[in-house]
Amino acid sequence: MLLPRLSISLSVRAMLSCTWGILSALILAAPILLSLAHHKSASVFYLSFSFLCHQNPDRSFFLAGYPLPVCHRCLGIYFGLCIGSLIGFRFLPQASRFRLLYIAASAIPILLDVAISSLGLWSGMGLVRFITGLWFGCLISIFLLYGAYELLADFFRDYFIQGNSFLKKGNSWIRKEC
């Protein structure tokens, strides 16, 4: 069965868009659940996101009177990952030296914001943190898309098109164990 590249590309985009979209929805669901007095359900989301973010209420947006379970910048990153995966990786530079510049361009706004805030020259606004996170997430999602696409394309090429199934004689881990 020969799968065209476009089909794999769309599958990867759909998979990652759904993943980042669901995570973004869960971020928004936590304070809504709290406002509806579903404290146990909301605490699961807050606890889950506590492993990924510092959850400082002073650096979080509020929804329904409660802080989101992630800070401004993390919210921007998650939303950016979702938006970037919807856009696709057609904007990815082909030359590897330009890819490094691309990664630097995605990280420089965050690094500047953190450095200037650390020096006390800038107190940092929530909207600026959100926008720098959004920029970073959008640009980095292109690399995640490309990597997932390459993995999936290699998998389909090796196991379905070329017929190099791991169950073939001589390559089977089952035969080696017995």
The CA-atom distances, in angstroms, between 103 and each of 98, 129, 133, 135, 155 are: 9, 18, 13, 11, 26
Q: Do residues 11 and 152 lie in contact, with contact meaning Cβ atoms separated by under 8 Å?
A: yes
Q: Do residues 65 and 25 lie in contact, with contact meaning Cβ atoms separated by under 8 Å?
A: no
Q: How many residues does the chain have?
A: 178
What global pTM score does this model have? Answer: 0.81
Cβ neighbours of residue 25 closer than 8 Å, sequence gap 6 or more: none
The stretch 139-146 carries a mean pLDDT of: 85
What are the tens digits of pLDDT across the range 123-136?
778 999 999 999 99
Residue 165: which pLDDT band, with cuts at 50, 70 and 90?
Answer: low
Residue 36: DSSP 8-state? T
What are the tens digits of pLDDT across the range 2-33?
445 566 677 888 889 999 999 999 999 999 99
SS3 163: coil
Per DSSP, helices labelled H in 36-125 are 39-50, 72-87, 96-118
Q: To the nearest whole percent, how much of the chain has pLDDT over 90?
A: 48
What are the tens digits of pLDDT across the range 41-54?
999 999 999 999 99
d(CA 133, CA 89): 19
Domain ranges of the chain: 5-156
